[in-house]
C-alpha cells in the first residue's frame, strides 16, 4: 500500500488526518505544503487537489480530499483498529458531529489567520496582494483573504468566535461517555475534534477546562495516547 500525505503542520484538517493515520499505525510518505508561500495554489499541487487546500491523501496514485472522507476511507481499507462506531445509529451521530465541528472552522480561522497569512498579506501593496489572489481557486477564500488582510477581525468578532467554540465544548461535556464522544469508544469523532480543542486550550480560551471536567479528562486521555505526539500537534503560536 502506497500512501502519500500532502499536509501542513498547523492545518487543523491535516492534524486530523495525521492523528488518524498514526492511530491506524499506517506508514505514509509526508510532503509538507508551505501555506505561507501559497504552495497549495501552485500548478503542481492543483493537479492533485483542484481546490487548493490541504490535506490531500494519494493512495496508489489516486488522490482523495476532505479530511473526514479521507479518515473514513482509511478505516475502510485498514479496519483494525476500528475507529468508526459499530452501530449504524452511532455512525450517523458521528457524521453529524463531524459535520457540526467542520462548520465551526470559520470561527477558528478568525484566530488563526491573524498569526500568519493576514500579517504577511498586510505587508503587500494592493497590486501585489491582488496578484497573489489570482492563484486562489475559490472566490469565497479570496474574499476571506481580503477580509483578514485589509479589515482585521474586531474584538467583538473574536469574542463571538470564542463563544461559538466554547459552545462546542459545552456540547462535548454533555456527550462524553466512557471518555469518548460517540458510542463510548474512542474514534473519528474524537480525532476530528482534537485539532479544535488544541487551539482552544493553547490560545483561544486556555481556562476552558476549568468548568468542563469531562472535557478535561477526555483531553488528558487523548493526549496520553501514543499516536498523539507522533501526529505533531505542535504550537500554533510561536
Are residue 15 and residue 68 in the same domain, yes or no?
Answer: yes
- Residues in a beta bridge with 30: 5
State residue 131's pLDDT score: 78
Q: How far apart are CA 55 and CA 2, in angstroms?
A: 16
Range of the domain at 153: 88-226
Of the residues 77, 103, 129, the one at which a domain ends:
77
Of the residues 56, 77, 98, the one at which a domain ends:
77
Whether the predicted pLDDT of 1 surpasses 80: no
Closest by Cα among 175, 174, 190 to 227 = 190
State residue 116's pLDDT score: 67
Q: What is the pLDDT of residues 26-36, one digit of tens each?
A: 999 999 999 88
pTM of the model: 0.92
Q: Which three cell numbers stand for residue 133?
A: 489572489
Of the residues 20, 49, 77, the one at which a domain ends:
77
Are residue 96 and residue 73 in the same domain, yes or no?
Answer: no
Are residue 108 and residue 69 in the same domain, yes or no?
Answer: no
Are residue 178 and residue 126 in the same domain, yes or no?
Answer: yes
Residue in this structure with the C-alpha cell 486550550, named with its chain if needed: 201
Q: Is residue 233 part of a domain?
A: no
Question: What CATH number is attached to the domain comprising 33?
Answer: 3.40.30.10
Mean pLDDT within 138-150: 78
Pairing of strands 56-59, 62-64: antiparallel
Q: Is residue 236 part of a domain?
A: no
State residue 126's pLDDT score: 83
Q: What is the pLDDT of residues 63-105, one digit of tens each?
A: 999 999 999 999 999 999 999 999 999 999 999 999 999 999 9
Are residue 120 and residue 16 in the same domain, yes or no?
Answer: no
Task: Answer yes or no: are the C-beta atoms of 233 and 15 closer than 8 Å.
Answer: yes
- Name the band, by pLDDT with cuts 50, 70 and 90, for residue 133: confident
Are residue 61 and residue 93 in the same domain, yes or no?
Answer: no
Whether the predicted pLDDT of 155 surpasses 80: yes
Domains of the chain: total? 2
Closest by Cα among 141, 143, 122 to 52 = 141
Amino acid at each position: 500500500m502506497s500512501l502519500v500525505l500532502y499536509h501542513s503542520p498547523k492545518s487543523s484538517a491535516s492534524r486530523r488526518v495525521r492523528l488518524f493515520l498514526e492511530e491506524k499505525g499506517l506508514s505514509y510518505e509526508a510532503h509538507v505544503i508551505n501555506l505561507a508561500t501559497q504552495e497549495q495554489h501552485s500548478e503542481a499541487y492543483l493537479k492533485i487537489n483542484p481546490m487548493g487546500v490541504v490535506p490531500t491523501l494519494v493512495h496508489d496514485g489516486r488522490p482523495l480530499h476532505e479530511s473526514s472522507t479521507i479518515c473514513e476511507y482509511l478505516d475502510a481499507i485498514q479496519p483494525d483498529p476500528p475507529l468508526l462506531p459499530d452501530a449504524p445509529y452511532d455512525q450517523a451521530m458521528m457524521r453529524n458531529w463531524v459535520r457540526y465541528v467542520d462548520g465551526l472552522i470559520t470561527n477558528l480561522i478568525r484566530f488563526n489567520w491573524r498569526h500568519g497569512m493576514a500579517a504577511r498579506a498586510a505587508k503587500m501593496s494592493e497590486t501585489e496582494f491582488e496578484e497573489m489572489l489570482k492563484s486562489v481557486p475559490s472566490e469565497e477564500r479570496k474574499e476571506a483573504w481580503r477580509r483578514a488582510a485589509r479589515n482585521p477581525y474586531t474584538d467583538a468578532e473574536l469574542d463571538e468566535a470564542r463563544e461559538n467554540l466554547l459552545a462546542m465544548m459545552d456540547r462535548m461535556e454533555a456527550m462524553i461517555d466512557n471518555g469518548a464522544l460517540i458510542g463510548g469508544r474512542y474514534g473519528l469523532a474524537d480525532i476530528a475534534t482534537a485539532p479544535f480543542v488544541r487551539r482552544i486550550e493553547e490560545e483561544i480560551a486556555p481556562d476552558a477546562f476549568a468548568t468542563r471536567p469531562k472535557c478535561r479528562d477526555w483531553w488528558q486521555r487523548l493526549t496520553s495516547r501514543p499516536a498523539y505526539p507522533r501526529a505533531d500537534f505542535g504550537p500554533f503560536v510561536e
